[in-house]
Homo-oligomer: A and B are copies of this chain.
Amino acid sequence: MAGAKQTTITDVAAHAGVSLATVSRVMNGNATVDPALAERVRASAAQLGYSANPLARSLVLGRTQTISVVVPDLANPTFQGMLRGLSRAAVADGYHVLIADSDEHVDEERLLALESRRRSDGLILCAPRMSDEQLAEVVADVAPVVLVNRTGDAPSVAADYRTPLRGIIDHLYAQGHRRFAYLAGAARSASSGQRLSALEDARRELPDCSIAEIPAGVDFASGAGALDDVLTSGATAVLAFNDLSAMGLLSAATERGIPVPGRLSIAGFDDIPFARYTSPALTTAAVPMGELGARAWSALHDLLDGRTPEPAVTVSPEVIVRGSTGAPAA
């Protein structure tokens, strides 16, 4: 039982002895209604606990005050941070948030996006693994839409993975490191390309150093599993694809009695909440996911209000130097 039936605008009109139109005007702060009447309507509304049915409003106004967000995996801390920043920003502007977790099923992402979109005014899409062709198609169907961490035919908000990786390299270089190893992660992602680009730049601009690329994965286990290859490479400093992978490597190294950073410096990427709690704490680049989410909302908000957002917003991760990196052994 959902309790008593919701009071409608008709009830309020009857109670206040006016027409529906008048109640509607008062409730919307609209136009000029006789102050006395308005007050009477407000009193009736308050007394009856009335507030307009958002569904009916949405139907007639053609706008839901809701946006939807499609993410590949709600369990991924990256998206959580974004979702939180996004949610708070949207709520502050009076919007509601519909979420859709695609559970990494790329083939369902399209349908999910379409369905969510129809129940809302706009969409924020995180679909790192969707093909470019499919993305283009979806984007056209769900506009207005904002893309997160990838570009396409819509405004996008992304983190810069290149500059901070280069920053980490420079930091390590300044400490004396010349032989690096890069633990490669998901190859197909856009952020991966940016990382590789940073490596290229570094190779060009720091000709006296070498950077070996070691295929690994994006999780703890792959980081740990890469230890042998790292040691074989002769590297003194490791650039992990992300914090998870860095932590795996760090853990494996510690277990093997390899001093970090004494024998091996390790840097991660992302600054997930636990990066600061490893021993030693992890040097990394802090990707401001909350800000990224808020920026994504801001861009979508612009779109919804007929403004033109920046076509491509970039947020810049900050390099956080902690204990897992230091000078190489002499």
Which residues of chain A have a CB within 8 Å of any CB of chain B? 1-3, 6, 51, 53-56, 58-59, 64, 66, 73-75, 80-81, 83-84, 87-88, 91, 96-101, 103, 112, 115-116, 118-119, 140-141, 143-144, 220, 247-248, 251, 254-255, 274, 277, 279
Contact = CB atoms under 8 A, between A and B. Distances in A.
A3 B143 contact: yes
A80 B77 CA distance: 9
B75 A84 contact: yes
A101 B96 contact: no
Contact of A91 (B100, B140, B251, B274): B100
B64 A74 contact: no
Nearest to A293: B74
A144 B2 contact: yes
Contact of A88 (B51, B80, B83, B101): B101
A327 to B, nearest CB: 21
Given A55-B58, A247-B277, A277-B220, A99 B87 contact: yes
A69 B75 CA distance: 16
A56 B248 CA distance: 51
Given A87-B99, A115-B96, A279-B251, A1 B55 contact: no
B119 A96 contact: yes
A118 B2 contact: no
A116 B101 contact: no
B53 A118 contact: yes
Contacts of A87: 74, 99-101
B75 A81 contact: yes
